[in-house]
Amino acid sequence: EAPPLPVPVPVPVIEAPMHDELPPEPVVYGDVLVRIRNNLSLPQVEHQRVEREIEWLQRNPDYVARVFGRAQRYLHHIMHEVEARGLPGDLALLPVVESAFNPFAYSRSHASGLWQFIPGTGERYGLKRNYWQDQRRDVVESTRAALEFLDQLQQRFNGDWFLAIAAYNYGPGNVQRAINRNLALRRRTDFFSLSLPAETRAYVPKLIALAKIIRDPAAYGFYLPPIPDAPYFRVVPTDGPADLRLMAELAGVDTEELLALNPAWNRWITDPDGPHRMLIPEVVADGFTTQLAALDANGRARLGEHSVVAGESLASIAGRYKVPETFIDQVNAGKRADLQPGDVLLVPAGDVSQLRAGLGSDLERRVYRVRNGDSLWTISRRHGMTVSQLARLNGISTSAVLQPGQRLQVSGAAATAGATTTKVAASGKVDYKVKRGDTLSGIARRFAVTV
């Protein structure tokens, strides 16, 4: 039988020799799971839906082991943020339900990251999403946004955390309509009395089941190895764009470890507009910081030089190095106009492709040359955009008259000839047509599943 997890041991308070008493020292935990256990505050519920979820976890102990293995990178930070906001410790377990602590998880409803934000909600809570990054996957920013959202939801539902958590999954408007239906029928309006979709009906019981297991693992036949209640990573400023492969080399970790801590980035180089910081494993952070300080801005971003030749433009140079024109413009301090042969521009010295297949592909921008008979409507339809999106992307009016030969920026979502779209079946599965060069591991990473 596995030994029980240790209980927190309070640090002894030393009485001051003066009349003013010192405030008590905080409780120190060696295991973040013990810290969560001591902050569980949601109601303990006995319900058949909860029992079904516990039984499923008991039948799948390997799943539990994998999830909490991945959680080691993130759980201390999440619990620290939960506690700092005075929220129930149970919420630190919500990423188990949402993403199984996979920061690259992507759902058929286009939700992404540990906390599974859909694009609209992520934008509402300040999560940037562009060619370079998707902060729905950012460990620090998505945690902030999720806890803000959850706190606002519990206020909206008068402190009923079960309704708030259901609304996080199903949407507050949908949950409110379910409540209103029950009110009209003079029925109870607690979570377990509402008519909700199957996914949401199981969503809250999954969290309650996890909290029960964390409260007393041995009672349910689990042994959960301790997770150190100490920072796993340090946030290190980079003072500008940085090449992730170089950052991994400086830290002395493999790229998969670095990407697990910095999953928001779509490209091997970070956004010129920031945030200019990197999450680095705490055990190597001191050495990393020292080596990073020895590099100048060009060295951090692994930039090289390009000599302009006759006939080249900013657009053609950006296309050659596979970056947006704005990147060349930004790293060269605005040398956008009047390029002359012999001018020297800073450009990426290495490959600036996606760091994982599929990341940010819907936000890639490509150049389309207008042909006779084209209109904003026909071009936008061809590239899976609306007229207003196309016009906004190019800074023109929706009624603008196009000229043959004119260059327009278009979305990458449907710009590639023969691109295969994925159709979601009722079962939740998708059909994917294999392309030349595909591998099982590449396809698995694209859809956030195992081989």
Q: Which of 53, 98, 141, 325 is catalytic?
A: 98
- Report the sign of the C-alpha dihedral through residues 335, 336, 339, 343, in that order: positive
- State how far the Cα of 191 lies from the Cα of 276, in Å rounded to an integer: 42
3-state SS record for 3-45: CCCCCCEECCCCCCCCCCCCCCCCEECCEHHHHHHCCCCCCCC
Residue 213, both tokens:
């297991």
112 alpha carbon, distance to own chain's centre: 6
Consecutive H or E run containing 98: helix 94-99
- State how far the Cα of 322 lies from the Cα of 364, in Å rounded to an integer: 10
> What percent of the residues of the chain are helix, what percent strand, and what percent coil, each to the nearest 5?
45, 10, 45
Residue 433 phi/psi, 5-degree rounding, is: -90, 120
Residue 24 phi/psi, 5-degree rounding, is: -65, 145
- State how far the Cα of 404 lies from the Cα of 388, in Å rounded to an integer: 20
46 is an active site residue: no
Contacts of 315 (CB under 8 A, 6+ apart): 325, 367, 407
List C-alpha distances in Å: 216 to 1, 34, 38, 127, 135: 14, 10, 11, 36, 35
- Report the sign of the C-alpha dihedral through residues 260, 266, 271, 275, in that order: negative
- Long-range Cβ pairs for the range 375-382 (8 Å, 24+): 375/402, 376/400, 376/402, 379/408, 379/410, 382/414
Residue position matching structure tokens 């759980």: 75
Q: Contact 391/398 with Cβ under 8 angstroms?
A: yes
- Long-range Cβ pairs for the range 102-105 (8 Å, 24+): 102/70, 102/448, 103/74, 103/137, 103/139, 103/260, 103/263, 104/137, 104/263, 104/356, 104/359, 104/445, 104/448, 105/448
- State how far the Cα of 362 lies from the Cα of 364, in Å rounded to an integer: 6
Active site residues: 98
